[in-house]
Amino acid sequence: MSDAVDAHQVVVALDVGGTGMKCALVRPDGVTVRTERHPTNASRGPTAVVGTILDVAEGLAEKARADGLTPIAVGIAVPGVVDEARGVAVWSANVGFRDVPLRDLAVRRLGLPTTLGHDVRVGGLAEARLGAGRGTGHVLFVAIGTGIAAAHVVDGRAAVGAHDAAGEIGHILVRPDGPRCGCGRPGCLEAIASASAIGRRYAELSGATADAPVTAAEVAERAAAGEPLAGEVWQEAVEALADGLATGQALYDVATIVLGGGLAQAGDRLLTPLRAALHERMTFHREPRLVAAALGDEAGCLGAALLALDAVGVRDHQEKR
């Protein structure tokens, strides 16, 4: 770890999602100097997607050099199952990866040390070190979108797990008689409280058709406007989330829970009732601070950069507590 961070150094960072890639050049102090977005076009198949990832990363490294900057590392975040130690994208439903040795492919193409990370874990890393959890040491980052996943970050490091599968908080059993989850079991948290589950539940009870789906954001809005059915569905989700987070707090005893993903954009419509429901569930546990994510959809890219910087031993002093 060097105290004198070279102001010309940058990391090439990519956050690869099912629909798009967020890409950036990030300085060791976490400042982004250039951003780009590219479509993933996952339907082309994993080989083509890998080709685009490598082209985009190489293009960013070249642009950095043209601007007088020195790319020192590459950080790539992908969804699904990621073997961080071997740098392999093991499996991903929405990008189609099956055992892709992405790290070695990037090293070969760019000649730079490369780190592969998991999208939610690196997002949590960024929120814990640069965002809403900054300065609090123990952070649970929970991303709520089509699914629910979490990252447990302690002193700036996200736990990966023995089998690269830490943080699957969406599959905590909260309602044994509840709807069936995508994993096959009934009653998982994400089958009740993910953004897609909330929209689905409202549609089911209101008789809305598949032609006019209702999003979780609309359910939140209708609930706030006093519509009883929306209020009921929203509260069901809040109670389930509080059960899941209370389990999380019992396991991890964090200082701060950061909520990210699409559902967190509901802001106080989510946070206010969720804080109350979580408070009710605390007995001897210390209540965590519950806050919305601060970095928006840049978190994955920043986290990929942080992971890469950690791997090459560069950590900016501004981040140290």
Backbone angles phi, psi at 67, to 5 degrees: -90, 10
Tokens of 207: 């008789």
Q: Which residues pair with 123 in a beta bridge?
A: none
CB atoms within 10 A of CB 222: 19
Q: By CB under 5 A, is residue 188 in contact with Zn ion? A: yes
Residue 21 as a binder of Zn ion (CB under 5 A): the answer is: no
Q: Which stretch binds Zn ion (CB under 5 A): 57-65, 141-149, 164-172, 241-249?
A: 164-172
Using rule CB under 5 A, residue 181 touches Zn ion: yes
Contact predicate 37/74, CB 8 Å: no
Q: Which is nearer to Zn ion, 154 or 183 (CB)?
A: 183
| Site size with Zn ion, rule: CB under 5 A | 4
122 binds Zn ion, rule: CB under 5 A: no
Binding Zn ion (rule: CB under 5 A), the pick from 103, 171, 222, 275 is: 171
Strand partners, 76: 14, 116
How distant, in Å, are the alpha carbons of 196, 198, 217, 231, 259 from that of 220? Answer: 13, 9, 5, 8, 16
Q: What is the DSSP string of 48-115?
A: HHHHHHHHHHHHHHHHHHHTT-EEEEEEEEESSEEETTTTEEEE-TTT--EEE-HHHHHHHHH-S-EE
CB of 167 to Zn ion, least distance (A): 13
- Which span sits near Zn ion by CB under 5 A: 120-128, 149-157, 183-191, 208-216? 183-191
Q: Does residue number 154 form part of the binding site for Zn ion (CB under 5 A)?
A: no
Q: How far is the CB of 56 from Zn ion (least distance, A)?
A: 33
- What is the SS3 assignment for 317? helix
- Least Å distance, CB 77 to Zn ion, is 23
Contacting range for Zn ion; rule: CB under 5 A; set: 154-162, 187-195, 270-278, 307-315: 187-195
Binding region for Zn ion (CB under 5 A) out of 30-38, 116-124, 156-164, 181-189: 181-189
The answer to whether 192 contacts Zn ion (rule: CB under 5 A) is no
Residue 276's contacts (CB-CB under 8 Å, 6 or more residues apart) are: none
What does the chain come to in residues?
A: 321
**Nearest distance, CB of residue 211 and Zn ion, angstroms:** 28
**183 belongs to the binding site for Zn ion (CB under 5 A):** yes
By beta-carbon proximity to Zn ion, the closer residue of 171 and 222 is 171
d(CA 121, CA 118): 5
Phi/psi of residue 39, nearest 5 degrees? -70, 145
DSSP conformation class of 192 = H
- Closest approach, Cβ 149 to Zn ion, in A, equals 11
Q: Kindly indicate which of the ranges 79-87, 163-171, 291-299, 313-321 contains the residues binding Zn ion, using the contact rule CB under 5 A.
A: 163-171
Least separation, in Å, of the C-beta of 245 and Zn ion?
Answer: 16
Q: Which uninterrupted H or E stretch holds 239?
A: helix 228-252
Task: Give yes or no for residue 148 binding Zn ion (CB under 5 A).
Answer: no
- Written as one letter, the residue type at 93 is A
Q: Which is nearer to Zn ion, 191 or 220 (CB)?
A: 191
Least distance to Zn ion, CB of residue 183, Å: 3
| The pair of three-digit structure tokens given for residue 193, joined into one six-digit string | 């409280």
Smallest distance, Å, CB 60 to Zn ion?
37
Nearer to Zn ion, 197 or 277 (CB): 197
| Residue 299, strand partner residues | none
Q: Could you tell me which stretch among 28-36, 66-74, 120-128, 170-178 binds Zn ion (CB under 5 A)?
A: 170-178
Supply the minimum distance, in Å, between the C-beta of residue 55 and Zn ion: 36
Residues that bind Zn ion (CB under 5 A): 171, 181, 183, 188
